[in-house]
Amino acid sequence: MSTPTFEQSQQNPEQKQRLRELRKLCSLGALQPDQLASYWVDTNEARDPQSSLRQRIMDKLEEGQEEEKDVHFLVYGHGGSGKSTELVKLVTQLGEEFFTVRFSAFENLDLLNITAEDILVVIAEQTVAAANKSGLQVPDRELQPIYDWFAKEETSFTDSSQSTLEIEAKAGVGSSVLSLLATLMASIKGDIKLSSDREHSRVLQLRKSPSALVSKVNLLIDIVRSSLPHGQRLLIIVEDTDKLDIAAARRVFIENVNLLTSITANIIYTIPIFTFHSPDAQILRNKFGCDLSLPMIKVAESSGARAPGFETVREIIRRRISEERLTENAADLLIAKTGGVLQHVFEVLNTAASMTTATLPLQEEHIQYGLDRKIREFYNEITLPHGGIPGEDLKVQDLYDRLAEDARIQLAGELNPPKTDAINQVLLKCCALVEYNGKSWHGVHPLVMDILHNLGMISDNAS
């Protein structure tokens, strides 16, 4: 496409406003409860008709209730596959039967330096915050020992009297122990998220005594659970831990898995797909009561033929963007080339609607511009982590060789079964390889197919 001139780039105020609205619709992220009625589409059939993520979670929770035991869930899938939206929908389906504590690790923790102990602290903080916000009547005498323990750890690096005064000032003099504890825990969480001095942080004290931390967190959970209305059950959902890099995910979910499974509550953790497809995956299967995948929506068969999921993605797009804003041909190109990856669908749309020459409805040339930008991102993302992978002597060319090998198998109409080596972990992380439904096959992303074709690594029929 030629570079637009200044005159070509002018858009009237109405066009600019409509393009801004379109970009806003592309940036919704995970749907919130008040957005479900407008934008949510049931994708179960397009992902795996034999397995509904939400239904399996509800069934397991029911079984746990009958057996009087808590269930620890792992939910894995690609970033941007829709896990958070599915979990929001789950919470609305569970309704008042559950007191749900749901939070984002991305928003509450430092993902670069995250530890399993940090997650436990924030589980405690979010549980206290939810109980305080909902007005639960939690006995002061039961919470006081927990407050005293966290306050003791907190004051190891601060002036005790000054710290107490600050907490009382924030919570309000005469506040309940629940309110005081909520204020204290929010302060500790802030230290986890923002402290630049990792070696002298007050949180370091908590990390040094994980068994005591587990004990206090579980005591807190038991107290809150006993304060719930009769028959209401507790469910904790830890989201965005699937955004960890390879080293951090291994540190948290493999090396310290016992800390995560020590929580005495029904709890859901999201986990990176590459961690579940790693040589250590058996550890996770042994430690967690239930592991569930949310595969991408399959828009094409391994043979290249259009799959029913193609229309599912179209419906998701049309819930937000009408034909007056995106032509059918442009939508077809967008769906085919993003391979069912919803995050990529809306990223490409956003880019197309940001062009200086963009006009509505968006045409194929606008979408192609967004796709070309996404291809350039893939060139940057198909690479090894900084510092490489411990114990592996890999080169970037190894990644492209594996992709070309998988592409040739796929173009022959055969399935690529999951592999558990380091190369596939990297490729799954950047979504160059995408996990689809049914037999859980790994397909090369359509835009990566274009890259391989452009590099001459696969033949013309790959385009």
DSSP structure string for 18-39? HHHHHHHHHT--SPPGGGHHHH
User: Going by C-beta distance under 8 Å and a sequence separation of 6 or more, which residues neighbour residue 362?
Assistant: 22, 325, 326, 327, 330, 349, 352, 353
Q: Are strands 72-77 and 433-435 parallel, antiparallel or unpaired?
A: unpaired
**Alpha-carbon torsion angle 293, 299, 300, 306, nearest 10:** 150
Task: Please tell me the predicted confidence (pLDDT) of residue 340.
Answer: 95
Task: Please tell me the predicted confidence (pLDDT) of residue 6.
Answer: 37
Task: Please tell me the predicted confidence (pLDDT) of residue 463.
Answer: 43
The b-or-e profile of 194-224 (16+ CB within 10 A means b, else e) is ebeeeeebbbbebbeebeebbebbbbbbebb
The domain locations on the chain are 13-31+296-457, 49-293
What predicted TM-score, i.e. pTM, was given to this entire model?
0.90
Beta strands in 192-265 (DSSP E): 233-239
CB 266 within 8 A of CB 272: no
**Tokens describing residue 315:** 């419906």
**Tokens describing residue 386:** 């900084």
Q: Is the dihedral of CA 221, 222, 225, 227 positive or negative?
A: negative
**Tokens describing residue 422:** 């380091």
Domain 49-293 class in CATH: alpha beta
The C-alpha atoms of residue 348 and residue 366 are separated, in whole angstroms, by 9
Q: Are strands 433-435 and 233-239 parallel, antiparallel or unpaired?
A: unpaired
Task: Please tell me the predicted confidence (pLDDT) of residue 134.
Answer: 96
Q: How many Cα atoms occupy the beta-carbon half-sphere of 297 within 13 Å?
A: 31
**Tokens describing residue 407:** 């592409």
Task: Please tell me the predicted confidence (pLDDT) of residue 49.
Answer: 83
Task: Please tell me the predicted confidence (pLDDT) of residue 304.
Answer: 79
Lay out the sheet containing 266-272: strands in order across.
98-104, 233-239, 266-272, 72-77, 290-293
Please state whether the peptide bond connecting residue 417 to the residue before it is cis, i.e. omega within 30 degrees of 0. no
Radius of gyration over alpha carbons of the chain, in Å? 24
Q: What is the full per-residue pLDDT of the chain (463 aa) written as tens digits?
A: 454 443 445 578 899 999 999 999 999 989 999 999 999 999 998 998 888 999 999 999 999 999 999 999 999 999 888 999 999 999 999 999 999 999 999 999 999 889 999 999 999 999 999 999 999 999 999 999 999 999 886 555 454 444 565 666 666 655 899 999 999 999 899 888 886 555 545 667 778 889 999 999 999 999 999 999 999 999 999 999 999 999 899 999 999 999 999 999 999 999 999 998 888 888 998 999 899 999 999 999 877 789 999 999 999 999 999 999 999 999 999 999 999 999 999 999 999 999 999 999 999 999 999 999 999 999 999 999 887 887 788 999 999 999 999 999 999 988 888 888 999 999 999 999 999 875 578 999 999 999 999 999 998 654 4
CA distances from 263 to 249, 258, 318 (A): 19, 9, 42
Task: Please tell me the predicted confidence (pLDDT) of residue 197.
Answer: 53
Task: Please tell me the predicted confidence (pLDDT) of residue 154.
Answer: 55
Task: Please tell me the predicted confidence (pLDDT) of residue 99.
Answer: 98
